[in-house]
Structure 1
Amino acid sequence: MSGAMSAADDDGRELTGDEALAAEYVLGALDDADRRAAARRVDSDPDFARLVEGWEERLSPMAANYEPVEAPASTKQAIDRRLFAGNATQAPGSDRTAPGGFWASLALWRGIAAAALAAFLIAVALPLLAPEPAAPQRERLVASLAPQQSDVHYFVVYDASERDIGLSHVTGARDEGRDFELWVIEGGNSPVSLGIIPAGSSVHLAVSDDLQRKIGAGAVFAISLEPAGGSPTGQPTGPVVAAGNLHEV
């Protein structure tokens, strides 16, 4: 099988072995052969089936408000072509700690955790890809905010019609007395705060009219670690712990 995911859960436990495999299975991160093998274990191994069920329950709040629909057979291939074509990488020797350097490296962020984002799109966002023809189109964007020299990882769904940002906490804990703050970076502009991320496995942030105009496909979401109550300056003051760019679904 492919190498099992190793990360910390919300309680700081290391995910290894069958628990990591179950998480990867639910996220859709396994290749075809490993996924078929895992599916057979779900049918034959009650303990493994319970692990899979637990991860399905843990991630289900992100899609709880959406009606499932049948996606076309070409959806997976289309997602793969879109995500894995022309991803940029960080230039060798670049300084991520230089002033403005990390926040300005949008090309790097557009290549962050493409595999994790693809897994998220397949496992969680597929029900959103084929709305009924008669229903008005609702713009939704998704992102996988992957760890940046940390173990903090969030999945994000932005619903423009509802002006709502839904965040699913996958791994990583904030330090005592500190808060996670969510930022949006539009093009080469300075980061703009979307607010403090409440504690919890599945949380939501409301988006104002002004901020809504700054959120679109290709914009970058990033999370910084800030003093309790958020940045005192209106700009990130703590380290960036997770980042990723928004994709249409």
Structure 2
Amino acid sequence: MAYSEDHIALAAEYTLGTLDADERTQVETMMSVDKDYAALVQAWEFRLSVLNQMVGLVEPRPELWARIKAAIEAPRQQEQVVPEQTPPSAQTSDVASEDLTPPGAPVLEQELPANAERERPEQPTRPGALTGVPTVQAVNDNVEMLRLTAKARQWRMVANVMAALAAVLLAMIGVQVYRPELLPEGLRPKSRTQVAQVKAPAAQYVALLQKDGSSPAFILTVDAGSKNFTVRRVGAEPEPGKSYELWLVSDKLQRPRSLGVIGGNDFTTRPVLAAYDPDTVNRATFAVTLEPEGGSPTGVATGPIVFSGKLIETVPPAPAR
């Protein structure tokens, strides 16, 4: 049978003898009607019986025996004193003093030997007894241990409940993420719609820069959205001490405008077309001249035009939505 912490504590304190009369009566009544509870009390007696061995015999102080001996010998010494002839007034005072002797005082017929104190038999000491041990402190420690055990059990139950709640919460989160259809409608996560704005691709233009319809020397690609152009070297051979320079030629401009020197790598990219409107760029002619190394020093074409071409739309702009 399972007992509460209070009943267990009562059984332990009954064994220690720290209960009052009413509580002891309560425990004894429970023991008489409940054999299991009586067995519980007996178990506590076995467990705490070691405390009996911690109580040692207490030797009386030496002067106590001397005081007892003096109290026994005092009446006998008074009997051995020979009374003297005293006046009536003195006798009256002696009688008064004798009346002060407490009645029933013991009279020792035979004087004890002088070594009576030394011949007193020593009181036996129980084996295993410990003297000077604070038994009250030991009892308090056992009671405190019982209370701490009860507290620890309560906290353990609280920890188990919290762990169970955490497990349930974790399971619900997992179901919401992976199998939301298993949950009731109110617990299902609401779907969120995100609108992503995708920029439509801009139109792409290509110009084949060549001479007399032969194979192209350069391929010019223009992005209408960013106004960047890329020149790819295809068949043009490098000239020692010379540089190829790209020009924009339009009837809207007073003179050709330099777009920079074409580098020695396979690809050259420039962002210089942003200064011109789209119509000018789309209708212009792109020409390549052979200039001194590093480009024209005056900003005006000085060498002959060796390659040229016009832009052709290859990718139309995406329709507006």
Instruction: Tell which structure's C-alpha radius of gyration is larger.
Output: 2
Name the structure with the higher strand share.
1
- Calculate the TM-score normalised by the size of structure 1: 0.42
- Calculate the TM-score normalised by the size of structure 2: 0.33
Name the structure with the higher helix share.
2
